[in-house]
Homo-oligomer: A and B are copies of this chain.
Amino acid sequence: MDYKALLAGRTQLMQANAIREILKVVGSPGIISLAGGIPSPDSFPMEIFGELTEKVLATYQSGAFQYDLTEGFIPLREQVAILLEQRGIRISPDAVNITSGSQGVLDAAAKLMISKGDKIALEAPTYLGAISAFNPYEPEYVPMEMDDEGLVPDALEDTLKHHDIKFIYLVPTFQNPTGRSLTMARRVRIAEIIQSYNALLIEDDPYSALRYRGEALPPIKTLAPENVIYISTLSKVFAPGLRIGFYAAPKFIREWLVLVKQGVDLHTSTFNQALAAEYLAGGYLDRQLPKIIEIYRPRQKAMADALHRQLPADFKVSQSDGGMFLWVSGPEGLDGLALYRKAIENGVAFVPGQFFFTDPAQGHETMRLNYTMADEATLARAVEKLGAAVNQL
């Protein structure tokens, strides 16, 4: 059979990408990987899963294993409404929806809104998982300039002035890949801009709970509620393998997103939603989060210190108060791929930053470094190897 003839036009944009090929060596023995983007298993509350399961069985019985509402399991939506209120987002549990990871709502939003050729505005660089959710719907991307304080508001205004933008996609806090956060002043300004242009923002916020210092910044959703789909997840503060995401969206959009999700997976695992509901209701998150932060904070510091020690003065390391990544920009003209190959020879892997840009001409001098998956000593050793690779290049 000629299977290739069966492919839809949209698969053009879905080719397995170069990054996978590049990263194939990452798991090889003798290589310390800073290339990951996943939480440490040490951050999972392993000791309570038995207890949580017992609670779920006692409380919900067979209801935890039955088909359930596409909108989400009601006890979890109640708990997430409380969580959102702590972040300044006041909505009723009815208006909270659960998805299969935040990936689930990125896919649903793209399916709902993107017609072929529609323009999506996003940070340069941006989160790769969003691109892989959006690409099958054949959008065009309008990348916008960032600096140390996150997206540059003028770049957003300029983009909205000159392009017909379907939606904007941002990770405002501890961004993947850069670790950067939008300042308060910029949040206010961005909220004003999207309101004045009647633009829709998808605000993706997986990391804000992982704050190692400084004060919490409010979601843009709190500043422009009718213009924002706010997305978050329990993957970084409970367990990613349970695939629990959630979002708060304007009513019209929300009702459509539910209809879209119904066709994709009917609903998210009832059992896992029930576990998540008990995790939140029982105060387990409030006890676990400080433990997670105590694991990651010294790792971030160890990596940042080592980078400042080991890298030449013309390498710039992002300032970041939380999340999972640091972002390094080398001097202009640095070939990140060549550095990657040299680093592998030295026994350390990272993700060359160019893969996070939708414009292939950008980011060749950058790299994303993850610090959640190794302890401080290992991170220091890894950065030493990276420094050696830089010197050899």
Give the B-binding residues of A (Cβ under 8 A): 1-4, 6-11, 14, 16, 38-39, 41, 44, 46, 49-50, 53-54, 57, 61-68, 100-101, 103-104, 107, 111-115, 118, 129, 132-133, 135-137, 166-167, 198, 200, 226-227, 235, 239-243, 250, 252-253, 256, 259-260, 262-272
Contact of A252 among B3, B8, B235, B242 (CB under 8 A): B3
Report yes or no: A38 in contact with B66, Cβ–Cβ below 8 A. Answer: yes
Q: What chain B residues lie within 8 Å of A265 (beta carbons)?
A: 100-101, 103-104, 107, 243, 265
Known: A1-B250, A242-B65. A136 touches B263 (CB 8 A): yes
**A332 → B minimal CB distance (Å):** 34
Report yes or no: B16 in contact with A44, Cβ–Cβ below 8 A. Answer: no
Q: What chain B residues lie within 8 Å of A263 (beta carbons)?
A: 14, 103, 107, 132-133, 135-136
Known: A115-B9, A241-B270. A1 touches B132 (CB 8 A): no
Report yes or no: A6 in contact with B200, Cβ–Cβ below 8 A. Answer: yes
Interface of A is mostly: helix
Report yes or no: A41 in contact with B66, Cβ–Cβ below 8 A. Answer: yes
The quantity of this chain's copies bound in the complex is 2
Contact of A136 among B2, B111, B242 (CB under 8 A): B111
Report yes or no: A1 in contact with B240, Cβ–Cβ below 8 A. Answer: no
Known: A54-B50, A262-B132, A263-B135. A250 touches B64 (CB 8 A): no
How far is B270's CA from A61's CA once the two chains are assembled, in angstroms?
21
How far is B133's CA from A9's CA once the two chains are assembled, in angstroms?
18
Report yes or no: A200 in contact with B1, Cβ–Cβ below 8 A. Answer: yes
A250 to chain B: closest residue by CB: B3
A106 to chain B: closest residue by CB: B263
Q: What chain B residues lie within 8 Å of A226 (beta carbons)?
A: 1
Contact of A68 among B46, B114, B241, B268 (CB under 8 A): B241
How far is B166's CA from A2's CA once the two chains are assembled, in angstroms?
12
Known: A39-B66, A65-B241. 18 other contacts (CB 8 A): A1-B250, A4-B252, A6-B113, A7-B112, A8-B137, A41-B65, A41-B66, A44-B62, A49-B53, A49-B65, A100-B100, A100-B269, A101-B266, A103-B265, A133-B263, A136-B260, A241-B270, A243-B266
Contact of A271 among B136, B256, B267, B272 (CB under 8 A): B272
Known: A11-B112, A14-B263, A104-B264. A66 touches B1 (CB 8 A): no
Q: What chain B residues lie within 8 Å of A253 (beta carbons)?
A: 3, 6
Q: What chain B residues lie within 8 Å of A115 (beta carbons)?
A: 8-10
Contact of A103 among B8, B136, B266 (CB under 8 A): B266
Q: What chain B residues lie within 8 Å of A133 (beta carbons)?
A: 263-264
Q: What chain B residues lie within 8 Å of A250 (beta carbons)?
A: 1, 3
**A247 → B minimal CB distance (Å):** 14
